[in-house]
Structure 1
Amino acid sequence: MNSSLLMLWGVWDNIYQRCTRLRYIEKGANIFRVVPLRYRGETLVTTDHKRIHNGDLILKIHIHNYYFATLCKGVKDDLKLALLLRRHIMQSLPKLAHYLETLENKEDIKGIVGTTMLHKGVQPLGFSISDVPMNWFFRYKRWYLRLLLRIIHPDGKRRVQAWNHEMPLKRVYMSKETLLARYGSGNQTTGDTN
């Protein structure tokens, strides 16, 4: 990515951060930003058979795209990009679990939910995947994420065109119980990212 473009994006990201309720898990060291809110959508059934209903309190997770773009600078190989993203998600999940454990209202939170086109390979990490309704909001979000991919990926324009039908927007989610069991402080393997 062009250094000037990355710098401008950094300025925009700071403004965006101040204008939203997104919270850093660990600024500059965690790929997730989160916001607690009420879930809106169809009932989600997680891998451990928990249910997240419309109106339930969740942690909405967002990949910190600007931070990831800084990590990807100079990486041109698709496989290396995918492995880099997976590694940082694996490193970030234990800290996300710790963050949830420290919240005063943690008992009320049902799970974590995000929306992404980068959903391949997340199921072994404990996530479930489902389709999203392609209403105006999700159409806009898909357009925005495709724009980010064009910016982040060194061959982004060609990739977006080639993956047009292979990159549906999906909802990824995990129950609080699975997150804490797999990545929480009670799990002795939380530091193992291999």
Structure 2
Amino acid sequence: METLLLWLFYISTFYAFIPGIISRLFGYRVFRKGSGVQEFALTFDDGPDPKYTPRLLDLLSKYGAKATFFVVGSHAERHPELIRRMHDEGHLIGIHNYIHKSNWLMRPSTVRKQIQRTNDIIYGVTGERSTYYRPPWGIVNLFDFSKRRHVKIVLWSAMFGDWRQNLGTERLTEKMLARLGPGEVMLLHDCGLTLGADPEAPEQMLIALERTLEEAKRRGLRSIRVDDMIKAAEKSPLLRLSFGKRLLVGAWLTWERCFRLMFRLRTVTPNLPFLHYRLREYQGQAISLDRGMTLSKGDSIIEIHVDNRQLFELGIQSRSAAQLAIRMIRRMDQDLPVLAEIIAGDESLAEVKALYGVTMINRGPEKFGFTVKDLPEGLFARLTKFYLSVLLSVIHPAGGARLKERSEALVPKMILMPVSQLLDHYGQKCTGTKLRKRQDAAAVLEDDMAAEEFPGAHAH
């Protein structure tokens, strides 16, 4: 009996658990998130539903939004008129199995039949077959990765728990607005008949969705079909990376999320994150700053971090190190004034003495008002250099080979700035003269960095 249980454990681990982890964390053979400047994707599971789907289609039409519906085949079979309307109104129709059952609980042949049966129903109504598939609960098994499936697995980047009625409309709206942004694949449900869902939950989803679409309109964002998002993503330089590097990037970005949660980092501009920060006590040796100030052990500081996902995306979209540096300069110039406003308006930050970060930028930060100092020699400096070397080998446009040629330049530095200096420089609304000075400084910085071979990355 013990041997049988052990074999069942091994089989379930390799058949279900490991493929699930690989797909969720590293995006292996699945699509989870797109790219772009103004586009996001609304996706709806478990329908169609005769009560809520027509109202949802009306709402999407009102805002000119396109969406992707992953339909349950048995529901589609009962309501072909809704499948026809989805198709006629320009939405994408995907497959969500014939019945809403986990792929972990079905043999590969059964999953294949579920997909094929649902696809036949869609074809019978629309005259087109679907090549997009979302397994129920996003749970894949080992054979879902097979190319013989002839479907593209689509997961999501943002899920909100909208199938629970006790979440409430206000909280659901907050969660949706917090994740509204370019490239997001948002998971919602237009049917509440699935096991574990509340039948009336789509009612509050529709209210929250209208508020989200209204905000998207205000921001100039638009919802597109998943196939259009995939086509745009396929042009991304990310696809030029080997699977090993994509695996490394996945682990790195997972660590980024864990780090932000563990240390409760706050984000300067949540809608387009670039700088994160946290309040802590300085624990290093005494350092002289500008304005005759000294930073001593125990002083309150704001530790800043660059968003790793944004850093990676800037890196892979840049044709050269100079272009990456210039893009980082522009983002920093956008976020520092906002950080100054946050500090000025938050009483809990009133006693902060300085901004603090660790970077490999050898030139540039001082033009923003930072003082650049060497890290004290020791274990922290060595580990930081190793971490940033690995990081830059992935995001640097020239790749790891170029970094090896200039390894002596990979020296992590501390950057520091008195908070009073930040507030003086950025804390007031820019006048014309002040704005021109900032623009001139940024232009000089861009010229300087155009010759710099190693744009920076902030270490955690």
TM-score by length of 2: 0.39
Say if 1:16 and 1:42 are closer, same or farther in 2 by CA, change over 3 A: closer
Instruction: Say whether 1:180 aligns with 2:423.
Output: yes
- Displacement of 1:80 in angstroms is 0.8
Q: Which amino acid aligns with 1:87?
A: R
Q: What's the offset of the Cα at 1:74? A: 2.5
Partner of 1:126: 369
Q: Structure 2 residue aligned with 1:56, among 299, 312, 327?
A: 299
Q: Partner residue of 1:116?
A: 359
CA contact (8 A) 1:59 1:111 kept: yes
Other-structure match for 2:313: 70
What does the per-residue CA deviation read over 1:158-186, in whole Å, with 9 as the maximum and x for residues that have no partner?
23212211221111000011100011135
> Between Structure 1 and Structure 2, which shows a larger proportion of helix residues?
2
State the alpha-carbon separation in 2 of the partners of residues 190 and 25 from structure 1.
Answer: 21
Deviation, 1:190, is 6.4
- Which of the residues 373, 379, 385 maps onto 1:142? 385
Partner of 1:87: 330
Identity %: 25
Structure 1 counterpart SS, 2:355: strand
RMSD between aligned alpha carbons?
Answer: 2.3
CA distance 1:10–1:167, shift in 2 (3 Å): closer
Residues in 1 aligned to 2:323 and 2:397: alpha-carbon distance in whole angstroms: 12
* Cα deviation code 1:131-183 (max 9, x no counterpart): 11121122112111111111111322023212211221111000011100011
In 1, the alpha carbon distance for the partners of 2:429 and 2:318 equals 35
Bigger strand share: 1
Q: Structure 2 stretches of 5 or more lacking a match?
A: 1-236, 443-460
How many residue pairs were aligned?
Answer: 194
Question: Any conservation in 1 of the 2:321–2:398 contact (CA below 8 Å)?
Answer: no
Aligned residue in 2 for 1:162: 405
**8 Å Cα contact 2:393/2:403 also seen in 1:** yes
Match of 2:394 among 151, 155, 158: 151
More contact order relative to length (CA 8 Å, sep ≥ 6): 1
| Cα separation, 2, equivalents of 1:13 and 1:168 | 22
- What SS does structure 2 have at the residue aligned with 1:98? helix
Which of 327, 342, 349 is equivalent to 1:106? 349
**Once the 2 structures are TM-superposed, how far is the Cα of residue 9 of structure 1 from its aligned partner?**
4.7
Residue equivalent to 1:42: 285
Q: Which structure has the larger Rg over C-alpha atoms?
A: 2
Flag the 1:110–1:68 CA change in 2: closer, same or farther, 3 A. Answer: same
2:238 paired residue number: 2
- Structure 1 stretch displaced more, 146-155 or 11-20: 11-20
Superposed counterparts of 1:11-50, under 5 Å = 11-50=254-293
TM-score, normalised via structure 1 length:
0.88
Corresponding residue SS for 1:29: coil
Q: Contact 2:256 / 2:308 at 8 angstroms: preserved in 1?
A: no
2:385–2:412 CA contact under 8 A, matched in 1? yes
Contact 1:39-1:54 within 8 A present in 2 as well: yes
Work out the CA distance in 2 between the residues paired with 1:119 and 1:60. Answer: 19
Structure 1: tracts of 5 or more residues without a match? none
Distance in structure 2 (CA, Å) of the matches to 1:40 and 1:164: 29
CA contact 2:290–2:417 (8 Å) conserved in 1: yes
User: Aligned to 2:391, what secondary structure does the other structure show?
Assistant: helix
Equivalent pair of 2:344/2:350 in contact (CA under 8 Å): no
SS in 1 for 2:363: coil
